[in-house]
Structure 1
Amino acid sequence: MSKVDLTNLTTEQRNQNTLGLDTMSVKEALLLMNKEDEKVAEAVKKELTSIEPVIIQTIEAFNEGGRLIYMGAGTSGRLGVLDAAECVPTFGVSPDMVVGLIAGGEKAMTIAVEGAEDSMELGRKDLVDLNLSKHDMVIGIAASGRTPYVIGGLNYAREIGAKTASLSCNKNALISQSADFPIEVSVGPEFLTGSTRLKSGTAQKLVLNMISTISMIGIGKVFNNLMVDVKATNEKLVERAKRIIMQATEVDYETAETYFYEADEDVKLAIVMILTNSSKDDAMDKLTQAKGFIKKTL
C-alpha cells in the first residue's frame, strides 16, 4: 500500500496556539476553543465568490428536474447526509431531491467502514446506483481535499456531463481538480490536531447551509423570510405552520388555522388563498403558473 502524504495539509498540522491543551483548565480550554471557532466564519466569507456559482448551478439543476447530491466520507459524509435529510421537512421536498451519500453506506453514519473512503470505484458505483443524470448537481465534500471516494464520484459525474462542485478545507486540494466549481475554505490547524470534525466540520456545515437554503429560495420555497413549504409533521410544526400563515398574511390565529386545514395543511397554498382571496383550486392554479413563487401570484 502506498504511503499517504499528509505533510502539506493544513488540516493535519499542529495548532501552535493550543500546545499544552491537556494541562489547561476547562475555562482556559473553552476560551481558546471559542477563539479558534471565531476564525471559521471569516474563512467562509473569503470564499463567497466561489460559493455563489455553486448555488446558481444548483438552482439550474433543480429547474431542469435534477437533484442535489452530496458525497463524502466520515464527518464530511455525515454533514452531507444531515443537510440532505433536513431539506425534506424544512422545504417540503421529496427525499430524492437532495441526497446525501457517505462512503460505506448508512452503517458509516455511526461506525467507520474500513477502506470505504479509499475506493474511487465505490464513489463511482454509488452514483451509478443512483442513476445519476446530466441534470444533477454533485458536490464532493472532503476536509482533507484528497478522499478517493469523492474523487471517483466527481470524475464519473463529469464523464456523464453532470454539474460538479467540491468543498474542501485545504488550498490546492486534489478534489478541486475533479470539480467544475471548487470551494476551498482554509480554517487553519484544528484546536485538537487532525480532528476535522471541529473547525473544518463547522465550515462545511456553514457552506452546506448556504448552498441548500439559498438554492431553495431560488426555486420558490421561501416567501420573504418564511419557510412556506414546511411540512407539519408534529405538533410543534403544526403550530409553526399556523404562525407562518399569520406572519405572511397578517390574519389572526383562528383565520390562519381555518385556512391551514382548508388547504389540507399546505402552508403555501393557504397563504395564496388568503392573499389573493381565492378558492383552493384557483390558488393551486395560480401557484402552478407562478412555478411555486408566492410573490408571482400577487
Structure 2
Amino acid sequence: MNDYLSNLITEQVNQETENIDECTTEQILNLINREDSKVPDAVRKEIPNITKAVDIIYESLSSGGRMIYLGAGTSGRLGVLDASECPPTYGTDPELIQGYIAGGDGALRTAVEGSEDSEEEGRKQVKECSVTKKDVIIGITASGSAPYVCGALKQAREYGATTIGVVNNDNTKLNKLCDICIEVVVGPEVVIGSTRMKAGTAQKLVLNMLTTAAMIKLGKVYGNMMVDLKASNNKLNERSIRIIRKVTGVNEESALKYLEEADKNTKLAIMMILSGESCENSKRILEKNQGYLKRALKASDINLN
C-alpha cells in the first residue's frame, strides 16, 4: 500500500455522501451541488499564492518568456484547454502559452493508462520545449505526486525556469519542487478519488485566474472587453464589431470597415477610429505604449469619457 496516496484528503471517504448509492436522482444532484459549492471558498484561500503566481507569469511573458502547463489525466486536459483558448480570446501567439498532457495529444480523448507514472517522460517534454530560465512551468496534479509532473518540474528547475504547482492536497511532493505551490484543498470527493470533480473544478478556476489576470496586465483587455481577440469565425467577428461600436460609438457599417482596414485587429480598429490616425500611425502609437489601448489613447490626448 502506498501510504502517501492513501493519506491524501482527495482519497478519503466523504461522510456526506457515504450513502449516495441509495439516493434518488434529485438527492444525488443536491449532494454533488452541495460539495461543489465548497470549491470557490477553497480557491479564495489561495488568492495570495495565486497573486504571486500571476505576477511572476506577467513578468515572464513581458520579458520574452513562456507559460507552459504540464499535467496528467484531468489535470493535463485542463491545462491544454486553458492554453488552447488564449490565442482566439487574447490574440496570443500559440507558442506563448502551451499545454501538455502525459501520454501525448491522444490522451486528451482517450485515457492512456500509466502515462503519468514516468518521471522521464515529464523531463523529456520539458527538454523538447527547449525551456529556459525565462519560462514559467506550471505542474498540475490533484495528488501533488504524479511522476510525469514531478519529473517535468525537476527538469525545469535544472534549466533555471520558475516552477509553479497547482495541487489539491497539503504538503505534497510537488511542494518541494515549486517556487510557488497553489494548494486548493477541496476535501474528499463525492465519489472517493474522483478528482475530475471538485479538484478538477478548482483547478479550472485557478487556471482561469492565472491566464485571465496575466492577459489583463499585458493590456489584452480594455475595460472588461477582449480587444485583442482574433476575429477568426463568425461569432468572434460579430463580437469584434460589437466591441468596436461599444467603445467608439460608430455604426455597424463603419465598425466593419475599420475592422477590415485593421486586418481584423479589434484594438487597432478602435485606435484608428478614436485617434483619427492612419492604420500605420495607430499601430505605431500602440507599439509605443506596449499594446495598452487605454494608455495609447491617453497618450494621444483622447477623452475617454
TM class, shorter-chain normalised? over 0.9
Query: What residue in structure 2 maps to residue 177 of structure 1?
Result: 176
Size of the aligned set, in residue pairs, is: 297
Superposed counterparts of 1:23-38, under 5 Å:
23-38=22-37
Contact 1:226 1:248 in 2 (8 A): no
Q: Which amino acid aligns with 2:86?
A: C
Contact 1:90 1:231 in 2 (8 A): yes
Query: What residue in structure 2 maps to residue 71 of structure 1?
Result: 70
Q: Which amino acid aligns with 1:188?
A: G
Misfit runs of 4+, over 4 Å: none
Query: What residue in structure 2 maps to residue 8 of structure 1?
Result: 7
Q: Does 1:167 align with 2:166?
A: yes
Query: What residue in structure 2 maps to residue 53 of structure 1?
Result: 52
Q: Does 1:222 align with 2:221?
A: yes
- 5+ residue gaps in structure 1? none
Q: Which amino acid aligns with 1:137?
A: V
CA distance in 2, matches of 1:68, 1:4: 33
CA distance in 1, matches of 2:21, 2:249: 55
TM-score (norm 1): 0.97
Query: What residue in structure 1 maps to residue 38 of structure 2?
Result: 39
Contact 1:70 1:101 in 2 (8 A): yes
Deviations 1:60-101 (A, max 9, x none): 110111110000000000000000001110011121111001
Deviations 1:152-207 (A, max 9, x none): 11111111111110000001111111000110000010111110000000000000
- 5+ residue gaps in structure 2? 298-305
Q: Does 1:236 align with 2:213?
A: no
Query: What residue in structure 1 maps to residue 105 of structure 2?
Result: 106
Give the CA deviation at 1:247: 1.5
Superposed counterparts of 1:181-220, under 5 Å:
181-220=180-219
Secondary structure of the structure 2 residue equivalent to 1:226: coil
Identity %: 50
Secondary structure of the structure 2 residue equivalent to 1:66: coil
Secondary structure of the structure 2 residue equivalent to 1:222: coil
CA distance in 2, matches of 1:171, 1:248: 45
Q: Which amino acid aligns with 1:287?
A: L
CA distance in 1, matches of 2:204, 2:168: 12
Q: Which amino acid aligns with 1:31?
A: N
Give the CA deviation at 1:4: 6.2
Give the CA deviation at 1:5: 3.6
Give the CA deviation at 1:111: 1.8
Cα RMSD of the aligned pairs, angstroms, is: 1.1
Secondary structure of the structure 2 residue equivalent to 1:285: helix
Query: What residue in structure 2 maps to residue 271 of structure 1?
Result: 270
